[in-house]
Amino acid sequence: MQRIVIIGAGQAGCSAAFGLRKHGFEGEVILLGAEADPPYQRPPLSKAYLLGDMARERLYLKPPDAYAAAGIDLRTGCAVTGIDPANMRVETAQGTLAADAIILATGSDPIRLPQAVTGGLAGIHSVRGLADIDAIRDRVATSTHAVIIGGGYIGLEAAAVATKVGLRTTVVEMAPRILQRVASEQTSDAIRALHQHHGVTIREGVGLARFEGDGAVTRAVLSDGTALPCDLAIVGVGIRPNTALAEAAGLRIDNGIWTDARGQTSAPGIWAVGDCASFPHGGAWLRLESVPHAIDHADTVAANVMGQGKDYAARPWFWSDQFDVKLQIAGLNNGYDAVVTRRGNTNWSLSHWYFGAGRLLAVDALNAPRDYMTGKRWIEAGQTPDRAGLADPATDLKTLV
Ligand SMILES: Cc1cc2nc3c(=O)[nH]c(=O)nc-3n(C[C@H](O)[C@H](O)[C@H](O)COP(=O)(O)OP(=O)(O)OC[C@H]3O[C@@H](n4cnc5c(N)ncnc54)[C@H](O)[C@@H]3O)c2cc1C
């Protein structure tokens, strides 16, 4: 193999490029990214960077000279327009590249509200890239009322920042409760209480009907007829894996770009990693949207491109920062039938433990790093703690398995 082309210069694409070097690839590595910036971390976008507490350069995953030093040909501002699996060609506006292997690391795009709902008004923003946050930060400076559509992690993090910078903030969640898709009622209750304590208004079980304004947004009209004043709107209603290139090239799509356990797509020589890829996990196909997954997946796939034949074993974990709370999650709670709560003794500190058929599946820890670390270790080792002991904060976790 002489040349490997990676499409998408985000977390997974960058990890794949350096992973190829780590696993001994000595040929050409070309990393193509549509965005103007070099690969950067996204989590701080809805947290410290939105708040203005973090400089742009600190987001960058590697110093600018690290790419040349590793022999990685990083091309930013270079959108790929097509791939040709039969001839192993990658098309860009700047020309066509031949490749011996292609790694798709195209990430995901936020779901955008239709024009009929946004009215094409200024002041309505998504949260995905640096350009989005720069636009929101400009808007924040002249705003007083923020309406956040969507009570998932992105929406709630944005609500915390908007409140911290002095905006009167309302979160609108169509489902009966915030975090419905990802967390238990108990975790939703704790996070709702946290936001309300800081002055955020949470509206659940009601949707957005439309935004209104004159050129720029001035109010959000909800499905129950309520009109909320609003000069900044942030929409965080989920993402879609970026499968357009793969789909156009005839690759199999199944809630993301379908891959086998080693990360190979339905087309030989073409691999997919990170947010855009769905991979086998526990008897089904799964897609994960998280930084640790993007890093681990890219590393395994880089090894497999080099012929190592390793199955990817996902170890899901995730975090979210809201106000003075760090929420850390280990495992996946899909199919849980019981939740045990363990209370801590510091501010907002507690953890929720998910069980399914008697086995520990996942833990949500709020300001409880020890519970998180211990839970993560148990989940990875397939161990299940004694529930009564877990519920008693006086019992030392170490004694429970
Ligand atoms: C605001 C925000 C906060 C988050 N917070 C957390 C968190 O706290 N914890 C956590 O674990 N995860 C968090 N995530 C999720 C995490 O950032 C993603 O899971 C991770 O970035 C996925 O990496 P990726 O490389 O697969 O995709 P991305 O980082 O999205 O990178 C994909 C790149 O591919 C490029 N691309 C797409 N199509 C083309 C094309 N045709 N040609 C060239 N380039 C292309 C895109 O421009 C993009 O730069 C957050 C995400 C966001 C947006």
Distance (angstroms) between ligand 1 centre and the Cα of 400 equals 38
Does some domain include residue 313? no
Q: For all residues of the chain together, what is the average pLDDT? A: 97
Domain boundary pick from 235, 264, 286: 235
Does some domain include residue 314? no
**Range list of H helices, 90-203:** 115-118, 130-140, 153-164, 185-197
Strand order in the sheet with 95-98: 80-84, 89-92, 95-98
Q: Which helix (H) or strand (E) holds 95?
A: strand 95-98
Atom of ligand 1 nearest to the CA of 277: 26
Residues 15 and 103 grouped into a single domain: yes
Alpha-helical (H) ranges within 262-350 are 291-305
The phi and psi torsions of 57 (rounded to 5 degrees) equal -65, -25
Whole-number Å distance, alpha carbon 355 to ligand 1 midpoint, is 30
Contacts of 110 (CB under 8 A, 6+ apart): 126, 127, 128, 235, 236, 237, 238, 239, 240
Evaluate whether residue 256 is within a structural domain: yes
Of 194, 213, 235, the residue at which a domain comes to its end is 235
Whether residues 29 and 58 share a domain: the answer is yes
* Residue 389 lies in domain: 324-399
User: Cβ of 351: how many Cβ atoms within 10 Å?
Assistant: 29
- From the list 123, 16, 112, 115, the residue with the least C-alpha distance to 72 is 16
Taking a C-beta distance cutoff of 8 angstroms, is the pair 110, 126 a contact?
yes
Tens of pLDDT, residues 316-346: 999 999 999 999 999 999 999 999 999 998 8
Query: Are residues 243 and 231 part of one domain?
Result: no
225 domain residue, yes or no: yes
Residues 264 and 345 in one domain: no
What does the pLDDT look like over 272-324, one tens digit per residue? 999 999 999 989 999 999 999 999 999 999 999 999 999 999 989 999 999 99
- Per-residue pLDDT, averaged over 16-28, amounts to 98
The verdict on residue 178 lying in a domain is: yes
Specify the pLDDT at position 346. 85
In ligand 1, the atom with minimum distance to the C-alpha of 92 is: 42
Confidence tier at 203 by pLDDT (50, 70, 90): very high
Whether 99 and 72 share a structural domain: yes
Say what percent of the chain tops pLDDT 90. Answer: 98
Pocket (CB within 6 angstroms of ligand 1): 7-13, 32-35, 42-43, 45-46, 79-80, 105-108, 127-128, 154, 242, 245, 274-276, 289-292, 294, 318-320
Indicate whether 91 and 59 sit together in one domain: yes
- Name the residue among 160, 161, 183 with its Cα closest to residue 329: 183
pLDDT, tens digit (0-9, with 9 covering 90-100), for 97-111: 999 999 999 999 999
Q: Could you identify the atom of ligand 1 that is nearest to the CA of residue 320?
A: 8
Q: For tokens 């309406």, what's the residue?
A: 147
Ligand 1 centroid from CA 289, angstroms: 8
- The answer to whether residue 317 sits within a structural domain is no
b/e 174-192 (16+ beta carbons within 10 angstroms → b): bbebbbbebbbebbbebbb
- The per-residue pLDDT for 230 is 97
With CA atoms as reference, report the closest residue to 26 among 122, 137, 100.
100
Of all protein residues, the one whose alpha carbon is nearest to atom 45 of ligand 1 is 8
Q: So what's the pLDDT on residue 379?
A: 97
Examine residue 133 and state whether it is found in any structural domain, yes or no.
Answer: yes
Number of domains in the chain: 3
- The answer on 360 and 214 residing in a single domain is no
243, 291, 299: which to mutate for ligand 1, most atoms within 8 A of CB? 291
**Domain co-membership, 38 together with 151:** no
Q: Give alpha helix (H) positions in 166-239.
A: 185-197
* 339, 353 Cβ separation under 8 angstroms: yes
Q: Which atom of ligand 1 is nearest to the CA of 317?
A: 11
35-53 burial, b at 16+ Cβ within 10 Å, e below that, comes to bebbbbbbbbbbbbbbbee
Residue 347 banded pLDDT, cuts 50, 70, 90: confident
Segment 112-162, tens digit of pLDDT: 999 999 999 999 999 999 999 999 999 998 999 999 999 999 999 999 999
Q: Are residues 78 and 51 in the same domain?
A: yes
Q: Specify the ligand 1 atom closest to the Cα of 78.
A: 43
Question: Is-contact 272 103, C-beta < 8 A?
Answer: yes
pLDDT tens per residue across span 233-286:
999 999 999 999 999 999 999 999 999 999 999 999 999 999 999 999 989 999
CATH of the domain at 65: 3.50.50.60
> CB neighbours of 131 closer than 8 A, spacing ≥ 6?
35
Of 235, 265, 297, the residue that ends a domain is 235
**Same-domain pairing of 139 and 184:** yes
Please state the pTM of the whole predicted model: 0.96
State yes or no: pLDDT of 185 exceeds 90.
yes
Pocket test for ligand 1, best of 42, 49, 54, 297 (most atoms within 8 A of CB): 42
Give a yes or no: residue 315 inside a domain.
no
Across-strand partners of 350? Answer: 343, 366
Percent of the chain with pLDDT over 70: 100
Question: What mean pLDDT do residues 15-26 have?
Answer: 98
Examine the pLDDT at 377 and tell me if it is beyond 90: yes
Please list, in sequence order, all residues whose beta carbon lies within 8 angstroms of the beta carbon of residue 45, skipping any fewer than 6 positions away: 59, 127, 128, 129, 130, 132, 133
Provide CB contacts within 8 A for 154, sequence distance 6+.
46, 127, 236
Please give the pLDDT value at position 370: 96
Please check whether residues 178 and 270 belong to one and the same domain: no
Which residues contact residue 294 at a Cβ distance below 8 angstroms, ignoring those fewer than 6 apart?
A: 10, 11, 12, 15, 273, 274, 275
Side chain identity at residue 294, one-letter code: A
Integer-rounded Cα Rg, in Å, for the chain is: 22
- CA-proximal residue: ligand 1, atom 53 (nearest): 128
Domain CATH code at residue 380: 3.30.390.30
**244 with 382, same domain?**
no
Question: Is the backbone of residue 122 left (phi > 0), alpha (psi -120 to 50) or beta?
Answer: beta
State which ligand 1 atom lies nearest to the alpha carbon of 292.
Answer: 11
